[in-house]
Amino acid sequence: MSFLEKAYDAETFRQQGHALIELLADHLSTAYSKNDRPAFRWEDPKDAYEKWAAVLQSGQDSIETFDQVVRESVQLHHPHYMGHQISPPTPISALAGLLSDFLNNGMGVYEMGIPGTAIERVVIRQVASQMGFGPQAEGILTSGGTLANLTALLAARRAKATENVWREGHSRKLALLVSEEAHYCVDRAVRIMGWGEGGIVKVPVNDRYQMAVSNLESSFQIAINAGYSVIAVVGSACSTSTGSFDDLNALADFCAEKGLWLHVDGAHGAATTYSKKYKHLVDGLHRADSVVMDFHKMLLTPSVTTALIFKRADDNYRIFAQRAQYLWEQEGEQEWYNLARRTFECTKTMMSLKAFMNLQTGTPALYDEYVTRVIDLSKSFAHLIKEDPNFELAVEPDCNIVCFRYLKGDSDLNALNESIRANLVELGQFYIVKTILRGQVYLRTTISNPFTRIEDFNELLESIKATQPVIS
């Protein structure tokens, strides 16, 4: 057989496919029982590169390579994984990913992905109605929260700028208001749009790291006095560092009064809309003009799968429209099924199927159970931290993000907690990260594995105490 024939051989695929599923199923069962694997294995970048360069030359069996990748990767399904905000995908949604990759339907035009396109609409409708939007709402799935936030802000500009920037470029200075705790991608989107550093007006936060609504008016006035046209407010639901939710109703009131666009960056926390117990965190969400929600953060879906919802369909159709807006209205038909008109991407993976398979497993019960459980777990963890005088909780968690630090006498707490995190990385028994709040280093955990238990939190706290270094 030639290389080409070998690469497409159906029997080889069958065997390798079976072997891979066996490998992953074994991995899944051992991850839960924490038997033989650490949650994380640190490796020096140079060593990792050289090793993989050698693997390429080695003629190693493909399944052996897969196995090696599994062993050396961060173990999201491990109960000691408490790191960045990404959730362990359900196996069925990962299988959907395999199917999408295999079919490779591009989804830019309808005929290049008929099921994927129709499924995307089903998913978007489900999400929009879950969030409380009416039948006028429309949306897309797109490649990550970063791109989704940029896309939403392009829509805001289209709707609120007094000139047609898409055709003529900028002649006025535009700006938006956002909490100083917002994700950096909002800042990046503003700069990409050419608004410059002054285009992002950071509103101070209160002691719970939520945008201090009382500062909105003064921040607004400062921007106006500096010659900016403020066109939007971006609410964080929730913030990345501490999982703090801005008061969306207060932001919506402010936007209504000033005629501004309200965009909600719910990449992480808009998923709480699925929890009967915690959906109050995003009260007012349906008042937003646009909302971003990542499925890969709190909704058990492989990355990247992001929903971007617009309250009014027209706002979605106009973003990238080359022709004047009246042509759309005259046409009367918005061709929802030709997705590339409304998304940044041209070719796009069939991410809709990954979300759809989770919804099909239980709409919306699976997500309700998951979101409720991980937030409950986070509150229990926070409780343990507060009970132990060796630790300090940064802020009472609203979501599944818990930040805390180790306290010890009059030592340099920043250096101490930096080295605790470094030690944990070295040991690999737990995977947690860190953040900086008001200049102080905190250990940061995202409780994303629904099979993490109280005993795991106890183990983590004990292991921090046992491994904490001597700081002179």
Query: Per rule CB under 6 A, is residue 145 in the interface with ligand PLP?
Result: yes
CB of 411 to ligand PLP, least distance (A): 32
Query: Per rule CB under 6 A, is residue 240 in the interface with ligand PLP?
Result: yes
Strands 401-406 and 306-310 turn out to be unpaired
Under the phi-then-psi rule, with left for phi > 0, alpha for psi from -120 to 50, and beta for the rest, what region is 438? Answer: left
CB of 32 to ligand PLP, least distance (A): 26
DSSP 8-state symbol, 247: -
The sign one gets for the Cα dihedral 154, 159, 165, 167 is positive
CB of 183 to ligand PLP, least distance (A): 3
Query: Per rule CB under 6 A, is residue 294 in the interface with ligand PLP?
Result: yes
Query: Per rule CB under 6 A, is residue 235 in the interface with ligand PLP?
Result: no
CB of 197 to ligand PLP, least distance (A): 19
CA distance 268 to 70: 26
Region binding ligand PLP by CB under 6 A among candidate stretches 1-9, 21-29, 105-113, 260-268: 260-268
Say if residue 250 is exposed, middle or buried (CB neighbours under 10 Å; 0-12, 13-18, 19+): middle
Query: Per rule CB under 6 A, is residue 444 in the interface with ligand PLP?
Result: no
- Closest Cα partner for 13 from 71, 59, 69, 63? 63
Q: Which is nearer to ligand PLP, 275 or 306 (CB)?
A: 306
- List the structure tokens of 287: 């008042």
Region binding ligand PLP by CB under 6 A among candidate stretches 13-21, 33-41, 249-257, 264-272: 264-272
CB of 306 to ligand PLP, least distance (A): 6
- By CB under 6 A, what part of segment 57-86 binds ligand PLP? 85
CB of 364 to ligand PLP, least distance (A): 21
CB of 421 to ligand PLP, least distance (A): 20
Length of the chain: 472
Query: Per rule CB under 6 A, is residue 273 in the interface with ligand PLP?
Result: no
Helix residue ranges, H only, 131-259: 145-160, 165-168, 184-192, 216-225, 248-258
Distances (CA, A) of 200 to 95, 107, 222, 230, 437: 40, 34, 12, 9, 20
CA distance 264 to 172: 24
33 neighbors 451 (Cβ within 8 angstroms): no
CB of 340 to ligand PLP, least distance (A): 20
CA 425 to chain centroid: 23
Region binding ligand PLP by CB under 6 A among candidate stretches 28-36, 143-151, 331-339, 357-365: 143-151
Region binding ligand PLP by CB under 6 A among candidate stretches 142-150, 248-256, 386-394, 427-435: 142-150
Query: Per rule CB under 6 A, is residue 146 in the interface with ligand PLP?
Result: yes
Q: Which is nearer to ligand PLP, 268 or 311 (CB)?
A: 268
Binding mask 149-188 for ligand PLP (x = CB under 6 A): ----------------------------------x-x---
Q: Which residue in the set 144, 284, 397, 450 belongs to the binding site for ligand PLP (CB under 6 A)?
A: 144
Q: Which residue in the set 152, 153, 156, 267 belongs to the binding site for ligand PLP (CB under 6 A)?
A: 267
The pairs formed by 211-217 with CB atoms below 8 angstroms and a separation of 24 or more are: 211/178, 211/179, 211/181, 211/235, 211/236, 211/246, 211/247, 211/251, 213/247, 213/250, 213/251, 213/254, 216/177, 216/250, 216/251, 216/254, 217/254
The sign one gets for the Cα dihedral 357, 359, 365, 369 is positive
Query: Per rule CB under 6 A, is residue 265 in the interface with ligand PLP?
Result: yes
- List the structure tokens of 237: 């639901």
Number of residues in contact with ligand PLP under rule CB under 6 A: 15
Q: Residue of minimal CB distance from ligand PLP?
A: 145
CB of 410 to ligand PLP, least distance (A): 35
Query: Per rule CB under 6 A, is residue 246 in the interface with ligand PLP?
Result: no
- By CB under 6 A, what part of segment 295-324 binds ligand PLP? 297, 304, 306
Query: Per rule CB under 6 A, is residue 244 in the interface with ligand PLP?
Result: no
Q: Which is nearer to ligand PLP, 268 or 341 (CB)?
A: 268
CB of 235 to ligand PLP, least distance (A): 10
Residue tagged 């599923």 (tokens)? 21
292 neighbors 145 (Cβ within 8 angstroms): yes
Q: Which is nearer to ligand PLP, 185 or 299 (CB)?
A: 185
Residue 192, phi then psi, degrees to nearest 5: -60, -40
Query: Under the rule (CB under 6 A), what is the footprint of ligand PLP?
Result: 85, 144-146, 183, 185, 236, 240, 265, 267-268, 294, 297, 304, 306
